[in-house]
């Protein structure tokens, strides 16, 4: 199976097709609809018995024209590399100009309170923690500022919010991503600013050379619209009613091509089907590749899939997601403990020749996690994390930044695990 | 130590300085001399007690103006992306035009013999084996065609040699690297051609649409010249005469910046010194960072270091090299067996939080390997290998293709191992 995937696997070509044919696949967009068509065709081509669409209602947020932000330094306008966070409201049509104040944490925001914050733009400058070897841990630590920051600032009367972008690199790319407004508070426009610009703005603020910031955005939230999960399966020949799910998410943020996040997981999941089909392997249990819609700003696809699973009379035994990038695989996270976890680690030595040494008790990806409600075991593949937050939700998440061999090695290990579970059950 | 390296480590900045200040550091070149100066200064800045140069005579091959190669297809000239292999002789000044014949292996060359080969240019089209998960194994399998191919072809009267370049990707970069002429046979000009061009040339040959190839190069081998290993050390405070060596090689091929090969190993080795010094760690045994000269086309620096080691009365206990790229570290290869190997693996769990799970009995890098003669244990760091042969010896081995966190994580693990050996001995 591994040799086929590494030499004849089509995942890299599929990724090119998806990224160039349907970049910026944000839920509700025309490109998301195109991605549904493209991947349905890919699943058929890969040899799925059955390919179908599963409808779900999704949010429909649009960024509008490119955002603007700048400050004035020594009489000169200094433009910032910014983007609105996903779900942000617009500024007034002429933008906002307001005094800017830098804070490093929610604690500092609380200390400043209404007196320090009222009428200002809050610049929240919290760098990701570089000492955490797993960058997802650093993301987990910092992401609260993106998700909760705008409302925390609005609580004290802020009129705008600018986040030091969540990136492990110093460069000019702002990264978008969901923010959640507390509905009891005013909704203020929320931006991310690139790490380079954040460093410079901070220096200039310390020198008291910057007083006000300008920000302008035209984002809008439109009514929910219908979209789809795309599902392709190979029916099991012994236990067809036991479902082994493998998937990634089909939607992506709108600033680039969603190559690592999560085109990689999509084409790897299709590759599982292709490899099984091409080698004439008829699994004992039904293997289903699912392209989940709307992971990024709603999770509606994962919810729709689990809701259907609760009522269709089938048995969902395992759900594996790939949503951590198409980098060299290093391990799996499995949502099981004790003897059930050991069923997985007993296979461990089979995976070592393919670079997988690590098995962690943990969760699945966001889209398969709801399957826990129908008693499925969930899991996710853990690729090397060092480069992920260079690209995540940013303008450089492009096909060209995915390595073919790394991507295919992920598919090799996913195929192996899905094959084992489909053969032996859990 | 890890936190310091990951947050305040200067290895990435050093790599920028080295790559932009002294790219194309082939032995004997002005840039190699500049690299000696740059890294000597870096070692002083990093806090080495003593920094000195160790002379060695090195080969001095120069490529000359960019090579040319083309064929004619349907009346149109099709230029090829080529480079001369390191050490290649020149063509006549007006180039060579000769019938071209494709072979896939030495066995095929032998079968064709003088009758099939005489007067022709041999196009050796052997793709790297994609099924080998460790790409260094695939390189080890294929590299004989680069090293021995020209003379194997000359044996049967070939007038030129063109190798499908040693790369795991399909793209337009030819990769150089040493070839060895059998001195009893005519020396014929030897090129690498990019994988894309190799595929196309092969197709066109199968269709019998290509008959002759043109190749032109002006390479020359000048007299040997003096160069230097650069050495910086922190003297041990308990066993100063026991030497723990960590290094990479300072020379690089001439087509790019030698960023992964082996600027990474150089700046990681300097980082070992910097981290120990900055944290006020005085090692029990002397830690020496060595920037070896001439790994690429002679190995003279490694030989000179080992020759000195055999006579200076000091005890060389360990030599660790980083020459497999600045990618995420996954393990170490250690040239020891049994109880001695176990001394290393007993430290294994200390390294797992930093991503190192694999310990292999194997060799050291090319530069530290000669230290076996003075009874040192040698080893090398094993980073993830998937991307290495995208860049190795090619025009895209640039600073921009090194990831900061991956590079620093390598330095973290090297520092830890050097510290442990310097503290506990072997």
Cα–Cα distance for residue pair B239/B210, rounded to 1 Å: 67
Taking only the tens place, the pLDDT of each residue in B121-177 is: 999 999 999 999 999 999 999 999 999 999 999 999 999 999 999 999 999 999 999
B330–A355 CB contact, under 8 Å: yes
Q: For residue B99, what are the contacts with CB-CB under 8 A and spacing of at least 6?
A: B119, B120, B121, B211, B212, B213
Q: For residue A14, what are the contacts with CB-CB under 8 A and spacing of at least 6?
A: A42, A266, A267, A270, A271
Helices (H), A232-330: 264-278, 300-309
Low pLDDT (below 70) residues in chain B: none
Q: What are phi and psi of B367, to 5 degrees?
A: -80, -30
A357–B355 CB contact, under 8 Å: no
Query: From the centroid of its chain, how far is CA B55?
Result: 20
Contact indicator for A389, B403 with CB cutoff of 8 Å: no
Cα–Cα distance for residue pair B42/B270, rounded to 1 Å: 7
Question: According to the model, what pLDDT value does residue B211 have?
Answer: 85
Nearest CA in chain B to A353: B133
CA angle (A79 as vertex; A77, A81 as ends), nearest 5? 170
Q: For residue B183, what are the contacts with CB-CB under 8 A and spacing of at least 6?
A: none
Question: According to the model, what pLDDT value does residue A120 have?
Answer: 98
Q: How confident is the model at residue A210 (pLDDT cuts 50, 70, 90)?
A: confident
**Crossing angle (nearest 10°) for helices A135-154 and A106-117:** 20
A403 in contact with B, Cβ within 8 Å: yes
Residue A239 pLDDT greater than 90, yes or no: yes
Q: How many residues does chain A have?
A: 426
A384–B354 CB contact, under 8 Å: no
Residues of chain A positioned with their CB less than 8 A from the CB of B404 = 169
Interface probe for B, chosen from A195, A260, A404 (most Cβ of B below 10 Å), is: A404
Residues of chain B positioned with their CB less than 8 A from the CB of A357 = 357-358
B355–A330 CB contact, under 8 Å: yes
Q: For residue B203, what are the contacts with CB-CB under 8 A and spacing of at least 6?
A: none
Of A3, A7, A386, the CB nearest to B406: A386
Question: According to the model, what pLDDT value does residue B122 have?
Answer: 98
Cβ neighbourhood burial of B309 (10 Å; 0-12, 13-18, 19+): buried
Cα–Cα distance for residue pair A329/B359, rounded to 1 Å: 18
Nearest CA in chain A to B406: A386
Q: Measured over all CA atoms, what is the biggest interatomic distance in chain B, rounded to whole angstroms?
A: 75
For residue B291 the two structure tokens come to 């920037």
3-state percent helix, strand, coil for chain B, nearest multiple of 5? 35, 25, 35
Nearest chain B CA: its distance from A115 CA (Å) = 35
Nearest chain B CA: its distance from A354 CA (Å) = 6
Strand partners, B222: B60
A403–B386 CB contact, under 8 Å: yes
Of A2, A358, A386, the CB nearest to B409: A386
Question: According to the model, what pLDDT value does residue B209 have?
Answer: 85
Residue A209 pLDDT greater than 90, yes or no: no
Contact indicator for B130, A7 with CB cutoff of 8 Å: yes
Residue A211 pLDDT greater than 90, yes or no: no
Cα–Cα distance for residue pair A71/A209, rounded to 1 Å: 10
Taking only the tens place, the pLDDT of each residue in A319-368 is: 999 999 999 999 999 999 999 999 999 999 999 999 999 999 999 999 99
For residue B98 the two structure tokens come to 């000769």
Question: According to the model, what pLDDT value does residue B297 have?
Answer: 97
Strand partners, A411: none
Helices (H), A253-347: 264-278, 300-309, 338-345
Question: According to the model, what pLDDT value does residue A80 have?
Answer: 98
Cα–Cα distance for residue pair B178/B84, rounded to 1 Å: 10
Whether pTM > 0.90 for this model: the answer is: yes
Strand partners, A70: A79, A214
Complex ipTM, two decimals? 0.95
Nearest chain A CA: its distance from B7 CA (Å) = 6
Taking only the tens place, the pLDDT of each residue in A395-412 is: 999 999 999 999 999 999
Nearest CA in chain B to A7: B130
Rg, chain A, Cα only: 22
Nearest chain B CA: its distance from A426 CA (Å) = 27
Q: Which domains does chain A have, with CATH numbers?
A: 2-62+223-424 (3.40.630.10), 68-218 (3.50.30.30)
| Residue tagged 């190799």 (tokens) | B198
B131–A358 CB contact, under 8 Å: no
Grouping H, G, I as helix, E, B as strand and the rest as coil, residue A240 is: strand
Q: What are phi and psi of B229, to 5 degrees?
A: -80, 145
B404–A3 CB contact, under 8 Å: no
| Residue tagged 């290998």 (tokens) | B385
Cα–Cα distance for residue pair B260/B237, rounded to 1 Å: 34
Q: Measured over all CA atoms, what is the biggest interatomic distance in chain A, rounded to whole angstroms?
A: 75
For residue A113 the two structure tokens come to 């309170």
């Amino acid at each position: 199976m591994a040799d086929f995937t590494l030499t004849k696997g089509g995942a890299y070509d599929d990724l090119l097709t998806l990224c160039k044919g349907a970049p910026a696949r944000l839920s509700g967009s025309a490109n998301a609809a195109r991605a549904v068509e493209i991947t349905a065709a890919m699943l058929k081509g890969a040899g799925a018995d059955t390919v179908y669409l599963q409808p779900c209602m999704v949010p429909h947020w649009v960024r509008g024209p490119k955002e603007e932000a700048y400050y004035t330094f020594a009489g000169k306008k200094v433009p910032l590399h910014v983007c609105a966070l996903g779900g942000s409201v617009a500024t007034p049509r002429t933008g906002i100009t307001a005094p800017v104040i830098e804070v490093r944490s929610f604690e500092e925001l609380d200390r400043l309170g209404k007196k320090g914050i009222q009428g200002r733009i809050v610049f929240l400058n919290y760098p990701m923690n570089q000492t955490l070897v797993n960058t997802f841990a650093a993301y987990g630590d910092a992401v609260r500022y993106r998700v909760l920051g705008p409302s925390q600032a609005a609580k004290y009367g802020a009129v705008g919010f600018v986040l030091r972008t969540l990136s492990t690199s110093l460069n000019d790319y702002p990264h978008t991503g969901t923010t959640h407004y507390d509905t009891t508070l005013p909704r203020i426009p929320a931006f991310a600013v690139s790490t380079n610009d954040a460093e410079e703005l901070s220096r200039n603020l310390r020198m008291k050379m910057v007083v006000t910031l300008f920000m302008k955005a035209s984002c809008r939230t439109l009514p929910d619209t219908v979209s789809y999960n795309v599902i392709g399966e190979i029916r099991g020949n012994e236990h067809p009613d036991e479902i082994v799910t493998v998937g990634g998410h089909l939607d992506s943020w709108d600033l680039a091509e969603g190559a690592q996040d999560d085109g990689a997981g999509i084409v790897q999941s299709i590759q599982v089907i292709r490899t099984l089909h091409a080698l004439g392997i008829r699994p004992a249990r039904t293997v289903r590749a699912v392209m989940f819609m709307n992971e990024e700003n709603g999770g509606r696809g994962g919810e729709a899939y689990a809701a259907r699973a609760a009522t269709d009379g089938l048995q969902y035994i395992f759900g594996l997601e790939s949503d951590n990038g198409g980098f060299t695989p290093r391990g799996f996270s499995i949502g099981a403990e004790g003897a059930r976890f050991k069923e997985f680690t007993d296979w461990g030595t089979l995976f070592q020749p393919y670079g997988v040494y690590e098995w962690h008790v943990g969760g699945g990806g966001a889209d398969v996690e709801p399957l826990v409600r129908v008693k499925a075991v969930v899991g996710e593949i853990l690729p090397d994390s060092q480069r992920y937050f260079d690209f995540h939700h940013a303008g450089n998440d492009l096909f060209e930044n995915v390595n073919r061999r790394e991507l295919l090695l992920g598919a090799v290990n996913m195929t192996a695990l899905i094959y084992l579970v489909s053969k032996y059950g859990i």
